[in-house]
Structure formats: C-alpha cells, structure tokens
Amino acid sequence: MNNQQAQIRVGRINYSNVWPIFYYFPFSEFGSSVQFIEQVPSTLNRAMAAGEIDMGPISSFAYGENFDSYVLCPQLSVSAKNEVNSILLFHREPLETIKDGNFALTSASATSVNLCKIILQKFYGGNPTYTTAAPNLEEMMKDHDGALLIGDDAIRASWVDTGYRVTDLGQEWKKWTGTGMTFAVWAIREAVVRQYPELIERIRQAFVESKIKSLADPMAMVHDAQTKIGGTESYWLHYFGDLCYDFGSEQWEGLSLYYRYAWELGLLSKPVPLKLL
C-alpha cells in the first residue's frame, strides 16, 4: 500500500484549547488517508499507547510514560506561559489549609492530574488523597476538599459563581517555578514515522499552517466558540491569547522540570528525554 491510501489515525482532543491547530486543517486535502478520532485526552493517551491511533495531541504526561515508542512534533503543543484559564482547581479553603485533604481529579486528564499532585505534594508539602472522578463539579465537591477540572468542563464551571476559590494551575506552576507549562504535545508513534514519513510530514506541516493562520486572525474561531460553547468575544480572545501553541526550547524548559518533579515523586518511572521528529 503506498502513502496515498495509508490510513493515518489522528487523535483530536474534544476541547476548544486545541482549536487553533485544527481550525484550518485541510481535511478534504487528505481524503481517506487520514482518519480523525475525537476524544478527551485520557482516552487518546490510552489509544495511542495501544496502537489504536498514530499521531496527534496527547497529554504531555502520556509522552513521559511512553517516550520509548513516540517522537514529538516541533512547533506544536498546548502550553501556557502563565494563566491557562482551563486547568482549574476548585476548593473551599486555602490550599495551605487543605494540603493534606482529599481531592477529586477529573478522569479526562493525565498532565494536569499529576501537575496537581506536584503542586500539592512538592510545593505545599502536603500528603493528600486523590479520587479519580467524572468531571462533574457539584458531585466532586460533595465529599472532597477540592476538585480539578480541565478543558471546556473547566471553562464552563469558571463562568458560574460557585462560591469556591479557583486556582489556575498554570499560574500556580509559574509562581513556584518561573517557567511555563506544556499540557499537551503532538506525538507520533515511531513505527508510523518509519512506515509513512512523507505523509506524516504533510500532516504535521498542515497542522503548523493551521496554527499560524488561526492565530493571525482568530475572529472566525472566536465567533465559532461563542456559538458552540458560549461566552463573550473578549473571553475567547483572552483565552486563545493566553495559550501558547509553540513547542521549542522555552516550552521544553518548563516541561523537562515537570518531568523531573514527576519522576522524583514516583509519578513517572524514569527520567524523560526530548525525542523530536
């Protein structure tokens, strides 16, 4: 089978935070050679590890768990230099007073779940307990001191006056480390790169071009977000403006520190190297 009929299975995170990289992707140009599978990050993480998808955005923590089999695309990520606005920990009392408490963590995440553990255990010196839960804030907060939501679940909850304190974990990471945080990376299974190098490069380049075009003029994407998710034009301009979709030395500086802390806490089994395409 030559590259043109190759079926590259590409994951697509079903949150608005990845929209800039998909918004102008030329789907029709690739026809049946590319199939898209849309899921929450944790499901895509498992699918790539199982060989059920070949490339696309996954939790950066999932790369840390499976770097032996993956390479990363330069220029593509979901990062934040400070506030991320959609990785939110909701809690009643200050973190200092609940650092040994119990926390409900969304089942949709891998990166942010472990970022929350690094923050509570390493930065606040806590010894909390964790429960993985469906991303329903009201249910999560019934019997926990805090609840972590990500993606559009977090955005929608942030629009409601819940009365809870809200900690932005991107901002918290920046406060303690001085670096930005990368929540998702664009990973490719090495076996697929070897089998379809030209097609993989065409897909990667198309993602980069979509990123450049949508960030150069985000208004169509912003108005789509208002229609499909709600919120104001200024909210979405701020949201997409606070996110960073690059993946270079600045992003690796923060991500390698995250991997080091995760390894030190036993959340990852070994140090994580950078393996670029």
Ligand X SMILES: C=C(O[C@@H]1C=C(C(=O)O)C=C[C@H]1O)C(=O)O
Q: Residue numbers of the site for ligand X (CB under 6 A)?
A: 13, 15, 17-18, 41, 59, 78, 84, 86-87, 109-112, 150-151, 183-184
Q: Quick one: 65 or 145, whose CB is closer to ligand X? A: 65
The distance of closest approach from Cβ of residue 242 to ligand X in the complex, given in angstroms and rounded to an integer, is 10
The distance of closest approach from Cβ of residue 268 to ligand X in the complex, given in angstroms and rounded to an integer, is 14
Q: Quick one: 196 or 214, whose CB is closer to ligand X? A: 214
Comparing CA positions, the residue from 72, 232, 216 lying closest to residue 57 is 72
If 0-12 CB within 10 Å is exposed, 13-18 middle and 19+ buried, where does residue 142 land?
Answer: exposed
146 forms bridges with which residues in the sheet?
A: 91, 103
Q: Quick one: 110 or 120, whose CB is closer to ligand X? A: 110
d(CA 211, CA 25): 9
Give the CA-trace dihedral at 118, 123, 127, 131, to 10 degrees. Answer: -40
Q: Quick one: 196 or 211, whose CB is closer to ligand X? A: 211
The distance of closest approach from Cβ of residue 17 to ligand X in the complex, given in angstroms and rounded to an integer, is 4
Q: Quick one: 87 or 199, whose CB is closer to ligand X? A: 87
Contact 18, 12 (CB under 8 A): yes
Q: Quick one: 87 or 267, whose CB is closer to ligand X? A: 87
The distance of closest approach from Cβ of residue 1 to ligand X in the complex, given in angstroms and rounded to an integer, is 31
Query: Residue 48 belongs to what H/E stretch?
Result: helix 41-49
d(CA 191, CA 197): 10
The distance of closest approach from Cβ of residue 210 to ligand X in the complex, given in angstroms and rounded to an integer, is 16
Residue 217, C-beta contacts closer than 8 angstroms, at least 6 positions apart: none
The distance of closest approach from Cβ of residue 18 to ligand X in the complex, given in angstroms and rounded to an integer, is 6
If 0-12 CB within 10 Å is exposed, 13-18 middle and 19+ buried, where does residue 185 land?
Answer: buried
Question: Could you tell me the CA-to-CA distances from 253 to 11, 153, 216, 249, 273 in Å, in that order?
Answer: 26, 28, 26, 6, 12
